Amino acid sequence: MENLKKPHVALWETALVFLLIFFAFIFSIAVVFTFFGQEAVLIIGELVILLVPLAYLRFKGLNIKDYVKIDFKPKYVLIGLICGFVMLSLDIIINEVLTYFLGTSTAVVNANQEYATLSTTPIGLAVVATALILAGICEEFAFRGFLLNSINRSLKPKYAAFAFPAALAISALIFGLFHFDLQAVYTIGAFTMGLVLGCFYQKWNYTVSATAHATMNTLFLVLLLSSV
């Protein structure tokens, strides 16, 4: 049973950290794009999402490995790989349904075209592949390991029955909003994937959700390039 007396991140701290992530993300993208171009943005943007909560957990003096539930046993990597294949299939179905009802998303089309264009050179392909893998590592640390986990731990003492469902819904919603799309296709799709990844995280750990996320993204890139 989880020791609730262990140090944790309060709800107001969690909110502040995510506000800082948002503004640091926007600022870093603007600066990096101006001086280094689009390729660097893909990498730096993901690293910022990781480094802000990581730095805060270090500042709090928490054991990051235990707090975030990091366990690199091979079985968790294997489970994550399998979950990644399942997620890709689910994501394709969800996007087909959303596109049918909401229409083709300009944001999704533009993002896919950008990935495909960058991938036409060896360096560009390496950057895109690295960014998509980093998305699994960095976003899962921030959205599941930090956000979902912190909300769950904060609510558990008083609202044990509702702590995880609330944490899951809030973290998935913010994850969806970080993938904002005016036509809502990308946002709703990300929200749904956030729910799935949150369940993976809760059932197993960060290693499973991060591996699943990175695997899904990698498979997506393979399918995208094979269709060009």
- Per-block mean pLDDT, blocks of 10 residues, the chain (228 long): 60 97 97 94 97 97 96 98 98 96 95 96 97 98 98 94 97 97 96 98 98 98 92
Q: What is the secondary structure of 136-174 as a DSSP string?
A: HHHHIIIIIIIIIHHHHHHHTTT-HHHHHHHHHHHHHHH
Integer Cα distance of 72 and 14 in angstroms: 26
Integer Cα distance of 82 and 43 in angstroms: 25
Helix (H, G, I), strand (E, B) or coil at 120: coil
Q: Name the residue type at position 97.
A: V
Integer Cα distance of 39 and 44 in angstroms: 9
* Class of residue 120 by CB neighbours under 10 A (exposed 0-12, middle 13-18, buried 19+): exposed
Describe the chain by its helix, strand, coil percentages, rounded to 5: 85, 0, 15
Integer Cα distance of 32 and 180 in angstroms: 21
The pLDDT of residue 1 is 39
* Closest of 116, 104, 112, 115 to residue 182, by C-alpha: 104
The pLDDT of residue 5 is 54
Q: Taking the model in full, what pTM does it have?
A: 0.95
* Contact yes or no for 199/206 (Cβ under 8 A): no
The pLDDT of residue 8 is 76
* Contact yes or no for 217/133 (Cβ under 8 A): yes
Q: Using CA atoms of 199, 21, 138, 9 in order, give the dihedral in degrees to the nearest 10.
A: -50
The pLDDT of residue 110 is 95
Helix (H, G, I), strand (E, B) or coil at 105: coil
Integer Cα distance of 158 and 151 in angstroms: 12
